[in-house]
A and B are shown apart, each in its own frame.
Chain A
Amino acid sequence: EVQLVESGGGLIQPGGSLRLSCAASGFSVSSAYISWVRQAPGKGLEWVSVIYSGGDTYYADSVKGRFTLSRDTSKNTLFLQMNNLRAEDTAMYYCARHYSAFLSLYSPFDSWGQGTLVAVSS
């Protein structure tokens, strides 16, 4: 069974850093495209970042230069390093696997985690 479990969220002051984890099971992260998607309170979902099966990473303009996505294939886990956090980064953060049959950023998400909450506030 495919499963994604996020962790690492919490309350952090503006300008601070946080590292989110996404532990995958039931498939190998090195053979999938996986994105982080966030939902701010009362707002819609926003795509944040993707890591391709080959390891390339891409980011939304809103987080470029502040967030870094990486993975540890030995642990089958992804990491989202978030630096210089702002109030507008407050959101539930989900990791989601792109539909395996597509193997593309331009695809639906066939599996999601339950999310981890990040609150940026002084």
Chain B
Amino acid sequence: DIQMTPSPSSLSASVGDRVTITCRASQDISNSLAWYQLKPGKAPNLLVYEAYRLEVGVPSRFSGSGSGTEFTLTISGLQPEDFATYFCQQYYGTPTFGGGTKVEIK
């Protein structure tokens, strides 16, 4: 199975900050990478797929980049509703997920 390693596992940030989350794949997955937002008691929400394509309805402050083994999710101008856990998923092979990055209020 392809292993996905997030970095960091958690971070503290303030409203308005620029936040960068990274996911590293154990092998080349081209651009077969998605990012999700997860809040307690809610359904996970697809933010980005194909490493950089923004899902319909997702605010433009979210962006994704990378290919191969290194991928990044950037939130430009953190909003109060963005405090959540973010996780990546590769779909180059049978889907596997990173452990998640929890974004907390500083």
Identify the A interface with B (CB < 8 A). 4, 35, 37, 43-47, 60, 94, 96, 99, 105-115
Contact = CB atoms under 8 A, between A and B. Distances in A.
A113 B49 contact: no
Interface string B40-80: 01111110010000010000000000000000000000000
A108 B42 contact: no
Interface in B70-106: 87, 89, 91-100
Given A44-B97, A45-B87, 10 more contacts: A35-B95, A37-B97, A47-B94, A94-B44, A96-B44, A106-B92, A106-B95, A112-B45, A113-B43, A115-B43
A109 B89 contact: yes
Interface of B: 32, 34, 36, 41-46, 49, 55, 87, 89, 91-100
Contacts of B55: 110
A47 B95 CA distance: 6
10 contacts: A43-B99, A44-B87, A45-B87, A94-B43, A106-B95, A108-B34, A109-B36, A113-B43, A114-B41, A115-B43
